[in-house]
Amino acid sequence: MTFRRDLKLFPFFLSAVVSAILASANFADAAAGATLSADSMNYDPVTKSVTAEGNVHYASPDGELFGDRGVGYTDGRTFELIGGVRGSFATRSMDISCEYMEMETAGGSLRRRKITATGDVRLARPDGKVFAQKLMWELDRDNYRAEGGVVIDFGSYFVDSDDAARNGEQFWAHNIRRYEDRVRRLSMSASKASGIISGNGIAELVAEGALVMEIEDLKGAKTRITGASGVFSQDRGTIVVSGGASAVQDGRSLNAGSIVYHLVSGRVEALGDRPTITFELRN
């Protein structure tokens, strides 16, 4: 272990306690390589915790983190960093900064490792980035939940919403100000949406509530579709908007119970009783 200041209170005992915390926390793939350093450290026998103050540096084979203050517990389940937190998880190719972070290990032999970060959270990876006020991320599974002014940009898709989450292949978000599928050149806003992630993109998406969608075809022509709900299917190559659906394209409007947009051809199809078409008259 590394100490930047000679500790007056049982230095050898404290070193053993800190070593036990790092070993049992098991955030490193090889805990023997973990170190914790700071300007000062104190052990509280009542809470069984070690508090590190000033230039806190936690390093392990998993990566390294910095902060103003750190708190670890002898049961090894949690380690907290407070103030100016920044660092990286090299084994996950992930950089992060925030005001507070808690690292937690649970699940026994399964070792589910989770971080909870709050306060101007910024996470970046080679495939994209996440901004939020609160972010919970499972390091071994890439499951996450982001809350508060969420912006997710993973190259092929972009989300600006109040919250967003991923669990395995499942994805969902609420109060979506803007969603973009950059591969298919479509964008939308809606009250909520859920979908299935496949590879680096979203293969299926169901949106509900005040849906507004804009789609650009290969020639650059744009179609604006509104309705109560919509379903995008990558396999079918369609977007189906239902519930008082309306589409506007190049001065023409179409109203129907449901509208089907075919992504490859740009063809618009009306479903339901008595669809109406309106043309804009030009001189």
- Between 214 and 29, whose confidence is greater? 214
What is the average per-residue pLDDT within 186-214? 94
Average pLDDT, the chain: 84
Residue 18 in any domain: the answer is: yes
Q: Is 216 inside any structural domain?
A: no
Weakest mean pLDDT among 28-32, 60-64, 68-72, 195-199:
28-32
CATH, residue 55:
2.60.450.10
Contact 256, 272 (CB under 8 A): yes
Instruction: State pLDDT tens for residues 119-170.
Output: 999 999 999 999 999 999 998 888 999 999 999 999 889 999 999 999 999 9
What are residue 105's DSSP bridge partners? 113
pTM of the model: 0.83
Domain assignment of residue 212, yes or no: no
| pLDDT over threshold 70, residue 108 | no
Task: Bin 131: left if φ > 0, else alpha if -120 < ψ < 50, else beta.
Answer: beta
Q: Give yes or no for residue 3 having a pLDDT over 80.
A: no
Domain membership flag for residue 99: yes
Q: What is the dihedral of CA 100, 148, 201, 271, to 10 degrees?
A: 170
Residue 21 in this model has a pLDDT that exceeds 70: no
Residue 110 lies in a domain: yes
161 by Cβ neighbours in 10 Å (0-12 / 13-18 / 19+) ranks as buried
Dihedral of alpha carbons 72, 120, 116, 94, sign: negative
Query: What is the number of structural domains in the chain?
Result: 1
Would you say residue 126 lies in a domain?
yes
| Contacts for 174 with CB less than 8 Å, ≥ 6 apart | 161, 162, 163, 164, 191, 192
pLDDT digits (tens, 9 = 90+) for 219-231: 888 999 999 999 9
Is residue 34 domain-resident? Answer: yes
Report pLDDT for 32.
46
User: Does residue 199 lie in a domain region?
Assistant: no
| pLDDT given for residue 48 in this prediction | 86
Q: Determine the structural domain holding residue 107 and report its residue range.
A: 1-153
Report the distance separating Cα 87 and Cα 104, nearest Å: 16
Q: How far is CA 68 from CA 37, 57, 98, 196, in A?
A: 11, 9, 12, 39
Evaluate if residue 62 carries a pLDDT over 90.
Answer: no
